């Protein structure tokens, strides 16, 4: 039995801005209607359950599968993110790219 990823978090100084960024980028519905403004991302949209919230410092780790790495890098930049790594081939056939969100969190993309 393997240990599966079952949750992700994106934490930054402006949690609302991050929630809007990821909702616009990936089309996720994020529910932050709770006292802590913890934005819950439904697993049926994101693949795994996750949260996007305000915090003291930026912290994030996850990869998102997309159909066009270059298109999503450009879209991330248009929404205030920044390209960190151009698409590259990983030995074994997968391709990845990396961008940072408006708070500086680094997010990976897996796809073509």
Considering the entire predicted model, what is its pTM? Answer: 0.76
Domain contains 1? no
Tokens of 97: 């790219």
CA dist 39 and 49 (Å) reads 11
Q: Strands, DSSP E only, in 1-112?
A: 7-12, 30-31, 39-41, 49-54, 59-60, 63-66, 82-89, 95-100, 106-111
Domain contains 83? yes
* String of DSSP letters for 84-98: EEEEEEPTTS-EEEE
pLDDT band of 2, cuts 50, 70, 90:
very low
Q: What is the CATH number of the domain that holds 70?
A: 3.10.180.10
Owning domain of residue 48: 7-111
Contact between 110 and 66 under an 8 Å Cβ cutoff? The reply is yes
Q: What are the tens digits of pLDDT across the range 33-85?
A: 999 999 999 888 888 889 999 999 888 768 899 999 999 999 999 999 999 99
Q: Is 70 exceeded by the pLDDT of residue 1?
A: no
Domains identified in the chain, total number: 1
Domain contains 90? yes
Domain contains 37? yes
Domain contains 2? no
pLDDT at 68: 94
């Amino acid at each position: 039995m393997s240990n599966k990823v079952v949750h992700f978090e994106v934490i930054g100084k402006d949690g609302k801005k991050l929630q809007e960024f990821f909702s616009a980028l990936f089309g996720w519905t994020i529910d932050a209607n709770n006292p802590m403004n913890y934005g819950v991302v439904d697993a049926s949209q994101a693949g795994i359950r996750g949260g996007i919230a305000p915090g003291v410092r930026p912290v994030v780790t996850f990869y998102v599968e997309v159909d066009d790495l270059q298109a999503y890098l450009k879209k991330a930049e248009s929404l205030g993110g920044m390209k960190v790594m151009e698409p590259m081939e990983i030995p074994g056939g997968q391709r990845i790219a990396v961008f940072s969100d408006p708070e500086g969190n680094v997010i990976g993309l897996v796809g073509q």
